[in-house]
Structure 1
Amino acid sequence: MADIQRIRRRKGPVTYVVRFAVIAYLFLLVAWPVSLVVTNTFENGFDALNTVFADADTVAALRLTAFAAVVATGINTIFGVSISLLLVRNEFRGKRLLGSFIDLPLAISPIVVGLSLVLVYGGRGGWFGPGLESAGIQIIYATPGIIMATAFVALPLVVREVVPVLEEIGTEQEQAALSLGASSWQTFWRVTLPGIKWAVIYGVVLTLARSLGEFGAVKVVSGNILGETRTATLAVEEKYLNWEQETAYAIAFLLASVSVLCIIVVSLLRSRTERH
């Protein structure tokens, strides 16, 4: 222990150089660009935000984005926890392949994701699209397609948060609960879920943040119909290209604020829980 403390006290020039490089990298890549969005949003006070909420089409875009993000997050939370339990608590053929397949949305472009969904569910030439549309169900250029695209790109986030925690806590407590007569469902709710609670919450927050900011896949499947399938990220592009930069900054600020606020709240709650 004393050796470790001695090593920590020895901070040479290299340590400070590395620290400075990391801080500078984060500042130039994250902090500064985001701060510019904030300053440009409030350059004329609250005029930009007032313009956003006064425009019915922009409000509809924000509402659609929030709805799609919440639904996609709910879907990914349920399936993410289920897939995590399957990967950690079971041995089967193709397990590694399934684990790699889950990371596919992170490896391919969102544009490719959107195009893939169009090829499967599109009304013209899609595998299932014509049949679904004949039954009165439209996926592409409608809200279901936006939700599917959003859920697809954010799929791995809950899984990658929960799997390491499940591996760390092991199965001893679960086996003890089962041996005492608890059902599988009771064991999950009273033993497993409390153990992975914070991993699930972080996964949900990351998924929500990723869903709110999705652009590429949504642009392909939504059709960008004003007041119907235009999301907030598409509205940012449209406003910026049409020389309405203040409104674009304001919408971007709202999206970023929700994500940052979620992360801050979760961090504060976790710190408070650990202190108690």
Structure 2
Amino acid sequence: MVKRVIVVVYLGLLVLWPVGLVVANSFADGADALVAALSDPVVVNALWLTVQVAVVSVVINTVFGIGVSLLLVRHRFPGRWLLSVLIDLPLSVSPVVVGLAIVLVYGGVDGWFGPTLEAGGLQVVFAAPGMVMATVFVALPLVIREVVPVLREIGDEQEQAARTLGATGWQVFARITLPAIRWAVVYGVVLSLARSLGEFGAVKIVSGNLINRTQTATLVVEQKYQDFEQTTAYATAFLLAFAAVLCLVVVSVIRPKEGS
């Protein structure tokens, strides 16, 4: 009983209380704050840009994550352990460092590849490509770390049997592997989406925080709070938190129950 109380208090102080304060401040004057936020062109543009960057990043991480998971579990090759370690790098490196690294490599003035890319008409830093790169990096491990344990658990007996019967690689993947890992993929996608929607540090560095151009929702929260438009800041933060929680709730509802 005591342990349960400690856990509940810990989670309450760490998660429920701070989030509850955001919700309370967002609705301190009823729904007026949300209406005002959704009527602000700067907020609307930032929310739309956030969704675009998050969706593109999630698609990239999903495709890449499934491929890397299959590579790690179904194949043996030199350097496999190093690849596994590198995948977890985003969990240990500060997002700000990631953003700075992208600027140093792809910056338009002093970057290694930036001047060449801009000469070819592609701007990475202070533009959408750099924001997508930064978001992809910070959410990189989430799909992989959901899929890898499931692949190990299901084994490869059915896949080998299908190949023996003449199935192609794509047929094996589409009809056997993907259905077996679908819920792991769904959870990885949801976690990646939530992480992408809430990314701040790396995106702030590479975006330049240009209003109505490269300013995402998290950057709007910071700007509005610093400009003493705290009601709008709380409302925008609530929308981001609500979107993340909604994704988790939907997945929990639609996921088949054990034994069903």
Query: 1:275 offset after TM fit, Å?
Result: 5.6
Determine the structure 2 residue equivalent to 1:191.
176
Question: Within 2, Cα distance between the matches of 1:201 and 1:271?
Answer: 12
CA RMSD, Structure 1 to Structure 2 (Å):
0.9
Output one character per residue of 1:248-268: Cα deviation in whole Å (capped at 9) or x when no partner: 011011011111001011011
Pair 1:125 & 2:99 matched? no
Question: Within 2, Cα distance between the matches of 1:265 and 1:173?
Answer: 31
State the one-letter code of the partner of 1:270: R
Query: 1:39 offset after TM fit, Å?
Result: 1.0
Residue 233 (structure 1) aligned to one of 218, 225, 241: 218
State the one-letter code of the partner of 2:185: V
Question: Within 1, Cα distance between the matches of 2:5 and 2:161?
Answer: 49
Output one character per residue of 1:68-126: Cα deviation in whole Å (capped at 9) or x when no partner: 00000000000000000000000011111110000001101000000000011100111
SS for the counterpart of 2:255 is: helix
State the one-letter code of the partner of 2:14: L
Question: Within 2, Cα distance between the matches of 1:241 and 1:271?
Answer: 45
Question: Within 1, Cα distance between the matches of 2:183 and 2:19?
Answer: 27
Query: 1:17 offset after TM fit, Å?
Result: 1.6
Pair 1:50 & 2:35 matched? yes
Q: How does 1:26-175 map to 2 (within 5 A)?
A: 26-175=11-160
Question: Within 2, Cα distance between the matches of 1:196 and 1:183?
Answer: 19
Question: Within 1, Cα distance between the matches of 2:235 and 2:101?
Answer: 32
Determine the structure 2 residue equivalent to 1:5.
none
Question: Within 2, Cα distance between the matches of 1:196 and 1:137?
Answer: 37
Query: 1:20 offset after TM fit, Å?
Result: 1.2
Residue 213 (structure 1) aligned to one of 185, 192, 198: 198
Question: Within 2, Cα distance between the matches of 1:204 and 1:141?
Answer: 26
Question: Within 2, Cα distance between the matches of 1:189 and 1:209?
Answer: 27
Q: TM-score, normalised by structure 2?
A: 0.98
The number of residues matched between the two structures is 260
Q: Which of 1 and 2 has greater Rg?
A: 1
Question: After TM superposition, where is structure 1 displaced by more than 2 Å over at least 4 residues in a row?
Answer: none
Which 5+ residue runs of structure 1 have no aligned equivalent?
1-15
Query: 1:271 offset after TM fit, Å?
Result: 3.8
Determine the structure 1 residue equivalent to 2:162.
177
Question: Within 1, Cα distance between the matches of 2:210 and 2:93?
Answer: 26
Question: Within 2, Cα distance between the matches of 1:181 and 1:195?
Answer: 20
Pair 1:270 & 2:245 matched? no
Question: Identity of paired residues, percent?
Answer: 62
